[in-house]
Amino acid sequence: MNLRAIGCNFRTAPVDMREKLAFDPAKQEKAVVDLSSRFGCEVVLLSTCNRVELYVARQPGEQPFDAGLAAEFLGEIHSVPAAQVGPLLYEHADEAAVQHLARVASSLDSLVVGEGQIAGQMKQAFEFAHKLGTTGPMLNALLAHSLRVAKRVRTETGISAGHVSVSSVAVDYVRQVFDHFRDKTILVIGAGKMARLTLKHLEALQPGKILVTNRSPEKAAEVAAMCGGQAIPWNQLDDALAKADIALSTTGAGEPIMPRKRFVEKVLPYRGTRTLVVLDIAVPRDFDPAIHDGDRVCLFNIDDLARVRQQTIGERQKAVAPAEAIIAVEVKKFTEDWNRRKSGPAIQQLRTKFDRVRAEVLGPLLDKLNGKLTPADREYIEGAFRLLQNKLLHAPIAALQEASKEGESRKLVEAMQKLFNLNG
Amino acid sequence: MPVSLPNVSLACFGLSYLLAFALELARVRWPRPSLRVAGLVLGAAGLFAHTLFLIIRQPTPASAYGALLAVAWVLAIFYLYGSLHHAKQAWAVFVLPVILGLVVMAFASFSTDENHDHSLDFGTRVWGAIHGLFVLSAAVGVSVGAVASTMYLIQARRLRMKLLPLGKMKMLSLERLEGMNRRAVNLAFPLLTVGLLLGAVLLRHYHDFADNWLSVKFLGTVGLWVVFLVLTYLRYAVTLPGRRLAMLTIAAFVLMLLVLIAGHPFVKGDSA
């Protein structure tokens, strides 16, 4: 194996340098093709907002592609001095590179552990390189392995469970209460940036109706137009709440706009048994927390959502150790399989050669004894020769397989080829 | 040539369900596909053995033993169907204990077919079977409603406590659970009504009604019917919150269990 994973990420490079080193598709195509043809190697380039990494595989015995060459190459492509790029780069070789890819794909190396995008981004990067013809047996096998490990990690450790953005956590809560949304009404109270952001997540649920209210009717109309909703006057807030199934409140009011007394008297009696989910992400809070009962009214304010976010991050951290254990096992398995694959042809050559020699010796012998042997005798002699061959080959094949596991089979293969004249 | 019937016992499927339940519990802690597959295989094996058992032994549904096993069998089908269709939900964790409970109760109230009243004529047997079918279908409805209600109460509690929305035990939404409960009860109520009326008519014509109308079975069934009536009234006329409806459904389920294990007038010597 002659594999290197070289790059920089959010830990090693500040954002301004990551911006400078990032690749758009055109630049990425040029870089991948250029690097592959210049060094005669398999190349994949992964460029996301948090990392730029090169995965380079060369033939065993060739000079490995190292961080120094990578710094020069990246500097040249982006017109940045290599001396600035070099200190930002890390380098993982062979088995460590396999492990690094598995960790990246499993999002253990991500800014937010357990985030779900990186495996897809890695797949895209490999497909991009594959189309350009810069991947080969090593990197193709490595991608399949990394994605498989990532899937196993996700399934078995639950590292990607839950969400960590406040808006997504809010949607998770809504989904715990409601099953379908085509008959639901969302009421947006306030028209600030946070309202728009969270509304985008809620819109994905495809609600039946969106109502928007704000002290400023113009702003309400603006948000309503943006989401295909309906603006309603601020003084109809109680009526709108009585009709709503989900209320998203983000006003900048100095004190609660919906005290418990007002809610109990002017909203609750007109709602029947329908459950209302209130997502109060305003600071200070818009709704009195006392209205929450977990049955008819489920209120979640910014503190609740932030707490869940922290809990989710904590849960994901608990999954890191089991995930690392899975990766360690899978990396070992991949390395052994790969090395065995490399020694496989030599073992096959050895067997073919001995089969041929056995046939050359046994054929004339059986011809000479023709007519003097019963079928049982003939079978016995053939079996004895096969047994002899197997006994002779057992030790060299076992040694080759053992060396393959350690990744040190190359010299042994060469020795066997010479000793048994396998290339002849 | 005599056909040899497999020697299936109550312990065969009882243990299969128990192991499936243990695996489902383990899956809540360690969400691994292998545990799910193993759980489903054991559950399916349990259902298969359960089916064979009912076919071979043919316990009468009029006895507590037969009724409990019949209800458990239908619930086992629900459990497998739900587990296959809601792979990520902790459906089995709630249904399997009910099935296991019913099997254990059947084991405890063991009675054999010999108790069945063979003196009944064909007409009574047919009408008795129809009556039993309605009542047992209603019992299945109540059981499904009770499972949905239990899940509802736990989900509502989680929301009330503002716990992690996607904790390790994933559950259906409140709306879905409430809908399941509503449909189950709405289906069970007319079935129970018809079953009860048929039972009363049969009792009136073929048995000594005066001796039996004060039996636990009869009074319990009437009580269950009244609970259903109250449930329907509270849901549609008074619009009671979901949590209270869920608790009332669970109460109806407990009453139904009492009715099922109570002695039946058609089964001689069945213990009340």
Residues B110 and B202 in one domain: no
Mutate to test the interface with A, among B157, B164, B171 (most CBs of A within 10 A): B164
Distance of CA A267 to the CA centre of its chain: 46
For chain A, the residues whose C-beta falls within 8 A of a C-beta of chain B are 155-156, 158, 161-163, 169, 172-173, 175-180, 272-273, 275, 292-296, 298, 300, 304, 307-308, 311-312, 315
Do B123 and B165 belong together in one domain? yes
B33 inside domain? yes
- The answer on B245 and B132 residing in a single domain is yes
Residue B159 to residue A176, Cβ atoms within 8 A: yes
> Quick check: A312 and B164 CB within 8 A?
yes
Give the tens place of pLDDT for each residue, A300-328: 988 888 888 888 888 888 889 999 999 99
B58/B130 same-domain check: no
**Model confidence pLDDT, tens digit, residues A31-44:** 999 888 888 889 99
What pLDDT is attached to residue A185? 94
Q: Which of A29-43, A78-92, A155-169 has the lowest average pLDDT?
A: A155-169
- Residue B242 CB partners (closer than 8 Å, separation 6+): A273, A275, A295, B152, B156, B174, B178
pLDDT(A344) > 70: yes
Domain enclosing residue B91, as ranges: 1-116
Span A218-246, pLDDT tens digits: 989 988 998 889 999 999 999 999 999 99
**Residue at token pair 């109990």:** A264
Active-site residue list of A: 49
Measured in angstroms, the CA of B50 and the nearest CA of chain A are apart by 32
Q: Which residue of A has its CA nearest to B35?
A: A156
Enter the ipTM.
0.79
Check residue A159 and give its pLDDT: 85
The pLDDT of residue A91 is above 80:
yes
Nearest to B162 among A178, A273, A304 (CB): A304
Contacts of A246 (CB under 8 A, 6+ apart): A174, A178, A184, A185, A186, A187, A202, A207, A276, A277, A278, A279
Contacts of B160 in chain A (CB under 8 A): 292-295
> Is residue B161, in this structure, part of any structural domain at all?
yes
- Considering the domain architecture, whether residues B169 and B247 belong to the same structural domain is answered as yes
Residue B36: in which H helix or E strand, if any?
Answer: helix B33-57
Which residue of A177, A295, A310, A316 to mutate against B (max B Cβ within 10 Å)? Answer: A295
Gap between the Cα atoms of A3 and B90, Å rounded: 44
Both tokens of A83, joined, read 């001396």
- Identify whether the C-beta of residue A283 lies closer than 8 Å to the C-beta of residue A316: no
Give yes or no: residues B175 and B228 share one domain.
yes
Query: What would the CATH number be for the domain defined by A166-304?
Result: 3.40.50.720
- B32/B154 same-domain check: no
The answer on B12 and B100 residing in a single domain is: yes
Domain boundaries, chain A: 3-161, 166-304, 339-419
Radius of gyration of chain A (CA): 33
Q: Is residue B22 in some structural domain?
A: yes
Give the residue ranges of chain B where pLDDT is below 50.
1-3, 113-115, 269-272
pLDDT score of B270? 44
In a 3-state reduction of DSSP, which class is residue A163? coil
How many Å lie between the alpha carbon of B154 and the closest alpha carbon of chain A? 11
Taking only the tens place, the pLDDT of each residue in B86-140 is 877 888 899 999 999 999 888 887 655 444 555 667 767 778 788 888 888 898 9
Q: Which residue of chain A has the CA closest to B165?
A: A173
Collect all residues of chain B within an 8 Å Cβ-Cβ radius of residue A183: none
Q: How many CA atoms lie within 13 A of B206 on its CB side?
A: 18
The answer to whether the Cβ–Cβ distance between A162 and B166 falls below 8 Å is yes
Clarify whether residues B112 and B136 are in a common domain.
no
Nearest to A23 by CA among A74, A63, A93, A91: A74
Contacts of A176 in chain B (CB under 8 A): 155, 158-159, 165, 171, 173-174
The distance of B270 to chain A (nearest Cα, Å) reads 43
Residues of B in contact with A273 (CB under 8 A): 239-242
Integer-rounded Cα radius of gyration of chain B: 20
Q: Is the domain defined by A3-161 classed in CATH 3.30.460.30?
A: yes
Close Cβ partners of A154 (under 8 Å, ≥ 6 residues apart): A106, A160
Residues B193 and B221 in one domain: yes
d(CA B255, CA A239) in angstroms, rounded, equals 42
Residues of B with CB under 8 A from a CB of A: 30-33, 155-162, 164-166, 168, 171-176, 179, 239-243
Beta-carbon contacts below 8 Å between A and B: 77
Three-state DSSP at A14 gives coil
Last residue of a domain, one of B87, B116, B145: B116
User: Which whole-number Å values give the CA distances from B66 to B53, B54, B109, B117, B224, in the listed order?
Assistant: 11, 8, 10, 14, 20
Cis peptide before A289 (omega within 30 of 0): no
Which of B164, B239, B242 is nearest residue A308 as measured by Cβ atoms?
A: B164
What's the gap in Å between the CA of A336 and the closest CA on chain B?
A: 25
Residue B272 lies in a domain: no
Per-residue pLDDT tens digits for A250-287:
888 888 899 999 999 999 989 888 899 999 988 888 99
The model's confidence at residue A377, banded by pLDDT at 50, 70 and 90, is: confident
Q: How large a percentage of chain B has pLDDT more than 70?
A: 83
Total domain count, chain B: 2
Minimal Cα distance from B156: which residue of A?
A294
Nearest CA to CA, how far is A144 from chain B (Å)?
Answer: 20
Contact A155 B242 (CB under 8 A): no
Mutation target vs A (from B35, B154, B161, B166; most A CBs, 10 A cutoff): B166
Distance, in Å, from the CA atom of B136 to the CA atom of B259, rounded to the nearest integer, reads 11
Q: What is the pLDDT of residue B271?
A: 41
Pair B4, B28 in one domain: yes
